[in-house]
Amino acid sequence: MKNKTTIGKNKLSLQTGGVEGNMDAYTHVRGESVYLDDIPIVNGTLYAAAFDSPVAHGKIKYLDTAEAEKMEGVIRIFTAKDIPGENQIGGIIPDEELLAGTHVHFCGMPVALVIAVSEEKARAALKKIEINIEPLPIITDPREAKEKGELIIKPRTFLLGDLDTAWQQCEHIFEGVASSGGQEHLYIETQGAYAIPQENGTIRIYSSTQGPTAVQRTTARVLNIPMNKVEVDTTRLGGGFGGKEDQATCWAVLCALATYHLKKPVKYSLHRMEDMRMTGKRHPYTSDFRIGLNKELKIIAYEATFYQDAGAAADLSPAVMERTLFHCTNSYYVPNVKATAYSCRTNVPPNTAFRGFGGPQGMFVIEAAIAKAAEALGIPASDIQQRNLLQTGDEFPYGQKAESEANECWSKANQLYRIKELQKEVEAFNAKNKWHKKGIALMPVCFGISFTKTLMNQARSLVHVYTDGSVGISTGAVEMGQGVNTKIVQVAAKIFSIDPAKVKINTTNTYRIANTSPTAASAAADLNGKATEIACQAILNRLKQVASDELSAGSGGKLPVETIEIKNELVYENGHVTGLHWKKLVMETYTRRISLSEHAHYTPPGIHFDAGKEKGHPFAYHVYGTSIITVTIDCLRGIYEIDSVKVVHDFGNSMNPMIDLGQCEGGIVQGIGWMTMEELIYDQEGKLKTNALSTYKVPDIYSVPKEISVHFLDTKKSNLAIFNSKAVGEPPLMYGIGAYFALRNAVKAFNPEASIPLDAPMTPEKVLMSLYPVSVPANL
């Protein structure tokens, strides 16, 4: 926890409400935390397994389930015909069937659902299902999809300034192609759901989902029943990262479909290979860029065209594509911009949300453009990066004005880590060493916080104070390790000034909190935390009223409520402790028939966006930061290590530094994984070749940076975050992009002539192939 020096001890306890770290840690380390597969099994539970398409695109000629149906233990096999409502799970655009009806659009698309008395029997039956598919042309390249007019939505363009004139003022212009690969979420808990029938045709669904309302809404639509008959309940997820925002729905609805027909509990917990094969991932992108700089290295013109590989259906792709546009200039001010994005339909599983939500893909391209310019000009990219950092008041291509910490983060990083000296050390090392070369790169980040779809920025919280003084809270937020539940406990503990142990967060349940937005966009703690703050405040006001009445009793006059304060569970009047305390006051309030419960609603003020003009103020605020990444490559073998990642990050005023540091470190490593070893390979037939943990590699403990230093930027600026503690889930992931450019620089140190395609991830294969472009080995 190096350099975590800016938080004083006193300030810490005030800001944290006495909580450090994640409150779930206790049951986690004892193995007692409950995930989907741990929910006690109800008698009579049946098990589901999906039969998925072996072909990426085609017309189903016949589907024969007769043999499978005859197998021992098999109860029934469902197909599209058995759907009572709409065979439709598309959230943004209705273009995705739950079970393929006449056509299949990707390998892994569910076609039939086997229900059997055990998991083993359900899976055994899958092998007996026969399908015959007449193949149709398969597209796996987004550019080809665009050429063929296979677009999910109409392209969108963000414009700022006057690009045509700007090009004429440029001293240097560079253009090229930059691509970034997809990324498997690899939440360690796979997708799953468990549906249990209730009376009156109601279904309760336990779902490992980031979006309980999406599950509820889609189930209602598919089963043709009202939403109030679908109860979705989520305790916690064993990781989500966006992969369970939209894509958890399918499994839940499948279970519900079987429960609807059979009136029996039905469970489906996916095997890893099913999960990897059937679910979508981070969108691969390929993009064209053109960048223009003036003599002073100011970027004055930037044009980018993004081709997003959306996969076979919309899923969240339109929203992801939008965020790519929002973040196309990363942390830089560029006065003249044209950015266009195409969401291209291909025959791979529908790609979906993944930490950063298209932002990283957009940022990668401008960083690639800057790297290309720097390489051509023979200067470090940091010279260009620094000169173009956003200043407060600068306009983003979408019209919002920056409230910037970009320069503050950069100069703090420079002061702490001495950027020029680090660069010199790398040069000195490279001059001395033949078989090992180092590379260094900087990665500033600016990330907007809010759902870009403005209406989704709303949340509700239900707070009950029980007569014994304990507090129970329900919100729409889903806990998945990011610590949102802990932060909500902190909010309540702080507002009420009570022991956080008195506060319990309940499961996320659509019967208690309705119409929720998914836990995504890094915004869950802000939205649900603020709603909780409002609810607690309302109850507190009533409690104070009661306290003032109670304390005034017999004193003749009435004490003004403003003189009442609750501190550490004691009631103070004008700064003097009174005989009243939390528990007693709560009971007194109840006795007076005054409500100890509150359901509050929050929506952040001031945000709006006009998609017609592509202008507005879509973000409540931005998060800033700078990272410096150093790597070493082994030039004999093409393998490499990440030496260090040094960061200054704008946490605002962190309410839980341990959780926030964890988010930062975890995000960085996930981002580095995306840029280095995580490689998704689909073959020409649209089949995923890297479909298991043995072929798809995520970072292990030995591949992480030897050092990660995170400095919390000291900032006094206020913002719309909960208690000024800025959202932290997504932004740090993008620091990892620096690893790609550091590796590039290291390769160039060995082979200055290397022409390295701007194509992430930078696998050991790509490193070696760039070190030795001709396959005749170099001299010893």
CA 677 to centroid of chain Cα atoms? 20
The DSSP secondary structure of 718-731, one letter per residue, reads --SSGGGB---SSG
Give the shortest CB-443-to-ligand FES separation in angstroms: 24
With binding defined as CB under 8 A, does residue 206 bind other proteins?
Answer: no
Question: Which residue's CB is nearer to other proteins, number 89 or number 237?
Answer: 237
Contacts 24+ apart (CB under 8 A), 9-18: 12/657, 15/653, 15/654, 15/655, 15/723, 15/725, 16/490, 16/655, 16/656, 16/657, 17/489, 17/490, 17/491, 17/493, 17/494, 17/500, 17/655, 18/493, 18/499, 18/500
Q: What number of residues does the chain have?
A: 780
Q: Which two tokens stand for residue 745?
A: 């620089």
Please give the Cα distance from 284 to 408 (Å, whole number): 32
Question: What part of residues 377-406 is at the interface with ligand FES (CB under 6 A)?
Answer: none
Give the shortest CB-501-to-other proteins separation in angstroms: 14
Q: Could you say which of 25, 66, 188, 379 contacts ligand FES (CB under 6 A)?
A: 188
Give me the 236-265 binding string for ligand FES, x by CB under 6 A, dash otherwise: ---x--------------------------
Question: Which residue's CB is nearer to ligand FES, number 89 or number 248?
Answer: 248
Query: What does 588 interact with, of other proteins, ligand FES, none (CB < 5 to 8 A by kind)?
Result: none
Give the shortest CB-143-to-other proteins separation in angstroms: 21
Please give the Cα distance from 283 to 358 (Å, whole number): 7
Strands, E, within 420-575: which ranges? 436-449, 459-465, 471-475, 503-505, 508-509, 564-567, 570-573
CA 261 to centroid of chain Cα atoms? 35
Q: Could you say which of 704, 714, 717, 751 contacts other proteins (CB under 8 A)?
A: 704
Question: Which residue's CB is nearer to ligand FES, number 11 or number 28?
Answer: 28
Q: Which two tokens stand for residue 172?
A: 């240097």
Question: Which residue's CB is nearer to ligand FES, number 481 or number 500?
Answer: 481
Contacts 24+ apart (CB under 8 A), 69-72: 69/125, 71/116, 71/121, 71/124, 71/125, 71/128, 72/121
> What is the set of active-site residues?
730
Query: What does 70 interact with, of other proteins, ligand FES, none (CB < 5 to 8 A by kind)?
Result: none
CA distances from 325 to 176, 253, 305, 395, 547 (A): 18, 32, 10, 14, 53
Question: What part of residues 575-594 is at the interface with ligand FES (CB under 6 A)?
Answer: none
Question: What part of residues 653-712 is at the interface with ligand FES (CB under 6 A)?
Answer: none
Of 227-235, 282-290, 576-584, 691-699, the window that binds other proteins (rule: CB under 8 A) is 691-699
Pairing of strands 74-78, 110-116: antiparallel
The stretches of 501-643 forming alpha helices (DSSP H) are: 524-552, 582-591
Question: Which residue's CB is nearer to ligand FES, number 188 or number 376?
Answer: 188
Give the shortest CB-26-to-ligand FES separation in angstroms: 14
Question: Which residue's CB is nearer to other proteins, number 752 or number 777?
Answer: 777
With binding defined as CB under 8 A, does residue 82 bind other proteins?
Answer: no
With binding defined as CB under 8 A, does residue 753 bind other proteins?
Answer: no
With binding defined as CB under 8 A, does residue 1 bind other proteins?
Answer: yes
Question: Which residue's CB is nearer to other proteins, number 120 or number 421?
Answer: 120
Q: Could you say which of 11, 13, 28, 157 contacts other proteins (CB under 8 A)?
A: 28
Please give the Cα distance from 54 to 292 (Å, whole number): 47
Question: Which residue's CB is nearer to other proteins, number 271 or number 420?
Answer: 271
CA 489 to centroid of chain Cα atoms? 22
Give me the 258-297 binding string for other proteins, x by CB under 8 A, dash otherwise: -------------xx-------------------------
Please give the Cα distance from 465 to 502 (Å, whole number): 10
Q: Which two tokens stand for residue 456?
A: 């989704």
Please give the Cα distance from 523 to 445 (Å, whole number): 17
Question: What part of residues 626-655 is at the interface with ligand FES (CB under 6 A)?
Answer: none
Query: What does 311 interact with, of other proteins, ligand FES, none (CB < 5 to 8 A by kind)?
Result: none
Of 179-187, 295-303, 465-473, 588-596, the window that binds other proteins (rule: CB under 8 A) is 179-187
Q: Is 369 helix (H, G, I), strand (E, B) or coil?
A: helix
Which residue has tokens 């997504």?
730
Nearest residue to ligand FES on Cβ basis: 188
Amino acid residing at 191 = Q
**CB count in 10 Å sphere of residue 616:** 16
With binding defined as CB under 8 A, does residue 694 bind other proteins?
Answer: yes
Please give the Cα distance from 654 to 486 (Å, whole number): 13
Count residues near ligand FES (CB under 6 A). Answer: 3
With binding defined as CB under 6 A, does residue 142 bind ligand FES?
Answer: no
Question: What part of residues 663-682 is at the interface with other proteins (CB under 8 A)?
Answer: 665-670, 677, 679, 681
Strands, E, within 334-410: which ranges? 337-345
With binding defined as CB under 8 A, does residue 239 bind other proteins?
Answer: yes
Of 78-86, 315-323, 611-619, 759-767, the window that binds other proteins (rule: CB under 8 A) is 759-767
Give the shortest CB-271-to-other proteins separation in angstroms: 7
Question: What part of residues 469-498 is at the interface with other proteins (CB under 8 A)?
Answer: 480-483
Give the shortest CB-27-to-ligand FES separation in angstroms: 13
Which residue has tokens 């296979």?
150
Q: Could you say which of 359, 518, 638, 686 contacts other proteins (CB under 8 A)?
A: 638
Query: What does 353 interact with, of other proteins, ligand FES, none (CB < 5 to 8 A by kind)?
Result: none
Question: Which residue's CB is nearer to ligand FES, number 273 or number 501?
Answer: 273
Strands, E, within 294-348: which ranges? 299-311, 337-345
Q: Answer yes or no: are the C-beta atoms of 236 and 478 closer than 8 Å.
A: yes
Count residues near other proteins (CB under 8 A). Answer: 82
Question: What part of residues 464-483 is at the interface with ligand FES (CB under 6 A)?
Answer: 481
The stretches of 117-269 forming alpha helices (DSSP H) are: 119-126, 142-147, 163-168, 212-223, 249-262
- Contact residues toward ligand FES (CB under 6 A) are 188, 239, 481
